[in-house]
Amino acid sequence: MKPHCIKIMTWIWVLALLLALASGCSDNAPEHKQQANTSQSGNVPSNSSEKFVIYAGSEMSGLEPMIRKWADKKGYPIQIHYKGSIDMMRMMNDGTATPADAFWPAHTIWFILGDTSHAVKNRRSIMVSPIVAGLKESVVKKLGWDKQSPAMETFLAAAQKKEFKYGKTSSTQSNSGALFHLAAWWAFAGKPDTWTMDLVKDPQIQARVKEMESTVAATSGSSGWLKSKMVDSADKLDGMINYEAMISEANIGWTTIDNATGKTVHHPGLLEKGLDPLHVVYLSDATMMADHPLGYVDKGNGQKEKIFNELQNYLLSPDAQKEMISKGRRNKLLAMDPSLSDKKAFNPEYGFDVKRIIAPIQPPREEVLTAILDLYQEEVRKPSATFWVIDDSGSMYNNNGKKAVQQAMSILLTPEKAREYKLQPTPRDIHVIIPFSDTPGPPITAQGNDPAVLSSLMDKVAQMQLGSGTDMYAGVVAALTYISQHPDDVKGHFPAIVVLSDGQSKGSIHPVRQAVMRLGLEDIPIFTLSFGSEADERQLKELAASFGGRYFSGQHNVADAFRKMKGYN
């Protein structure tokens, strides 16, 4: 196709998408096939005490205070759970049997993949946000990207030269990671008119995307958590791939609702901490745009439909749109009216350009999208090196913890389950299991994704039988020692220590701190996952928070917690 024809086709698609965003998705239109955080408004309407449950992406948490204020004023008991894109997609597959009354993912593609029964109605885009790079201002100026936007190839070349270290979310667990991955694929394919399976199968394109993924220094299962990690670990990262709105929040701070108290909590950003702010870098040849659609699950409940319609109308009202703009969200696809933009949230000094015309890439059809995501998980992504510190003490046999651990590990080590949850290992993934009771047991190692190897590893997990007391800290020290003795296991991988335990451990965290410092392993995150009916969350939360990881509770839904945790590695 000639260049001028390509431009015409692109703009035709853009105009069509603009009309769709403006009018919402027609119900009659043909369709293609973190441990959850929860908050709830305080008042209950006089005519109903039934909660209206919304599942939303983590990037929406900064908008919850305004929604909470509106819901309290109306007397509506709105409850928000924060879930990843894959989680919401799977929940949509349940149709009207899902516990959700509304879904608020970051992109329409998750409705296309998940809402196969067409249970979700009245979908409308609430705001938009492009996927961009946010890099420290000093890095951007050094590269000259404050004056000229780089192409994807230029960005890759600089990352390969280690000009900066950046984080990105998992492409199979988080929308921001998936959209950037698609943008890279499209750019390296030469910006084709349409997505085809030939593009997916092309080994040269695969190799280029694999090179891009290999430059990622830190991963995450959540866009919101990656933003927090960027602010909390600014000394370890130079930037991140994320929504433009998350770059804004990382700079100026954000406010959320505390689950325990229901009070608002302000999280200071880089500027408030006196740190180098992030400068927005818009890639010149490849940008995907999150359209943040809100849709209603029609279960025939008139009161809930009323709440949804009023909420959606409120969010699309000029006052609500203005408030969302003040939090770094855009209200238009291509360019914003500069008079509407908030100078703090969209500070041009840090590269925010509200007048920039952003013509987003058309997402692929379901068949191609699924193939690209499976290929990412199985071949293209940077491999993981996971050191599983598994509690096999006596208490785990008495509180169903042992059974829960086996259930969790089977999700990863059973190929059919792993594919269902988009957790498939790559041929280069490394698995090291260090069981412990009062002392660590011998390491159990395996590599790759061969079904026979994974089955053998699962058998060994099931056959572990140490019993006796509990010292998870000794187990973590054993994992750190193993890593220091096998440096090749983490080279070119995403390394992580994952503790599966009910807590209740003797000892203290101090030996772990000493080992980390002595062995120089400060960059190895430690994630913790609780099992058993009497888990000591305090110890597990402290361990994760102290070493750049995150705590997940598996006491109520082991599979859900395990999938979320694995998305961070």
Asked whether residue 350 is domain-assigned, the answer is no
Say if residues 531 and 383 touch (Cβ distance below 8 Å).
Answer: no
Q: Is residue 351 one of the residues assigned to a domain?
A: no
Domain presence at residue 185: yes
Q: How far apart are CA 529 and CA 550, in angstroms?
A: 9
What pLDDT score was predicted for residue 37?
A: 43
The reply to whether 87 and 44 lie within a common domain is yes
Same domain, 116 and 153: no
Q: What is the CATH number of the domain that holds 185?
A: 3.40.190.10
Cβ neighbour number for residue 140 with a 10 Å cutoff: 24
* pLDDT for the residue 49: 54
Torsion 478-479-481-482 (CA) sign: positive
CATH number, domain with residue 551: 3.40.50.410
Contact 133, 268 (CB under 8 A): no
Q: Report the pLDDT value the prediction gives residue 362, as an integer from 0 to 100.
A: 85
Estimate to the nearest angstrom the gap between the alpha carbon of 433 and the chain centroid: 25
Domain assignment present for 407: yes
pLDDT of 38: 45
How far apart, in whole angstroms, are the C-alpha atoms of residue 256 and residue 34?
A: 15
Alpha-carbon torsion 478, 484, 487, 490, what sign? Answer: positive
pLDDT in the model for residue 395: 83
φ, ψ at 53 (rounded to 5°): -100, 125
Q: How many whole angstroms separate alpha carbon 138 and alpha carbon 119?
A: 48
Domain count, the chain: 3
Residues 319, 401: one domain?
no
DSSP state of 556: S
Q: What is the pLDDT of residue 334?
A: 61
pTM for this prediction: 0.85
* Same domain, yes or no: 51 and 24: yes
Residues 6+ apart with CB under 8 A from 495: 384, 385, 386, 387, 483, 489, 524
CA–CA gap between residue 372 and residue 156 (Å, rounded): 19
Question: Residue 419 sits in which domain range?
Answer: 383-566
Within a domain: 554: yes
Residues of the chain with confidence (pLDDT) below 70:
1-49, 333-335, 532-533
**Could you read off the pLDDT of 395-427 as tens digits, one per residue?**
888 877 888 888 889 988 998 888 888 888 999
Paired tokens of 208: 């280029």
Q: Are residues 525 and 408 in the same domain?
A: yes
What is residue 517's predicted lDDT score, i.e. its pLDDT? 96
Counts of helices then strands in the chain (DSSP H, E): 22, 20
Residue 31 falls inside a structural domain: yes
**524: which 2 tokens?**
């190895």
- Rounded CA gap, 315 and 323, in Å? 10
**What's the token pair of residue 37?**
């955080």
Cα 136 from Cα 281, distance rounded (Å): 10
The answer to whether residue 355 is domain-embedded is no
The answer to whether residue 249 is domain-embedded is yes
